[in-house]
Chains A and B, each alone.
Chain A
């Protein structure tokens, strides 16, 4: 990005503020639908950060995959388990929250101390800049070829696994009686059962 330093700094400040506020909202808000939308805000501001860091391809991938796919998937998950329930209070919850906040703050202090004190070896080489997409493509098809192919296998496995896990296993008891009802509310059932019930060749006379 060939922006002036001031512009970069201001946009970093705005994006960081959005990311921090939205992340706190994700964790602290009661309504989970608001949390899901704020999570989309965090993802979008992260994409802006990647643009500031000369990663235009990764920024586009972040927008498409996180905001477009993962966030929508989470919203569908919320819709599918949409049960308005007040969780029963457990005693000692505040101890857990306090201890976790303490551990988180301690970890933050530790990380911040390390970040500030470490002498980073800032490279002075000319950045790839706008050619980052070409560079990533070269990496994918030369030295990262095996992980690249394995990633596609992993995505296939995840897709099949998600379908198998989320498929409903039991067949509903109440089968509709009349033709009209059958057309409107066909019960969801596994494919094998439907095939056996439908085909007359396999069923014994």
Chain B
């Protein structure tokens, strides 16, 4: 019995759904950022699995994964800076109180 492509894809789908759940239900702004990182990791796992099983000669999926990791690092830095600025402004990290744009 060999490792199948489907195993990796199923695991990635599960991690992505956990990330979506955390993204929507979290009250803490930093936990929201962590959920986004989870989802990005699930996508990376998908790309790597496709690269290994469907395109093992050119491995363009691995190149895409490196780019996704780069963008995720930039996103984490800017996201945490924004959370820090909001925290200084509103004195809380509760997502429910970031309602300046609520009508």
Residues of A close to B44: CB separation below 8 A: 46, 62
Main secondary structure of the interface of A (DSSP, over half): helix
Total residue contacts A-B, CB cutoff 8 A: 240
Residues of B close to A83: CB separation below 8 A: 87, 91-93
Q: With A9-B3, A27-B22, A111-B13 given, is the CB distance from A125 to B41 under 8 Å?
A: no
The reply to whether A77 and B83 contact each other, CB–CB distance below 8 Å, is yes
Residues of B close to A62: CB separation below 8 A: 44, 69
Residues of A close to B34: CB separation below 8 A: 26, 35-36, 39, 74
Q: Report the Cα distance A24→B60, complex, angstroms.
A: 31
B21 interface residue per 8 A CB criterion: yes
Residues of A close to B17: CB separation below 8 A: 104-105, 107-108, 111
Residues of B close to A155: CB separation below 8 A: 70, 73-74
Q: A72: shortest Cβ distance to chain B, in Å? A: 10
- A-B CB contact pairs (8 Å), 6 listed: A23-B18, A43-B37, A52-B3, A80-B84, A107-B20, A155-B70
Interface residue count on the A side (C-beta < 8 Å): 84
Q: With A43-B41, A90-B96 given, is the CB distance from A32 to B84 under 8 Å?
A: no
Interface residue count on the B side (C-beta < 8 Å): 76
The reply to whether A100 and B71 contact each other, CB–CB distance below 8 Å, is no
User: What residue in chain A is nearest B41 (Cβ atoms)?
Assistant: A46
Residues of A close to B27: CB separation below 8 A: 87
Contact digits for B7-48, partner A, Cβ 8 Å, 1 yes 0 no: 111110111111111101111111101110110010011001
The reply to whether A19 and B11 contact each other, CB–CB distance below 8 Å, is yes
Residues of A close to B10: CB separation below 8 A: 112, 115
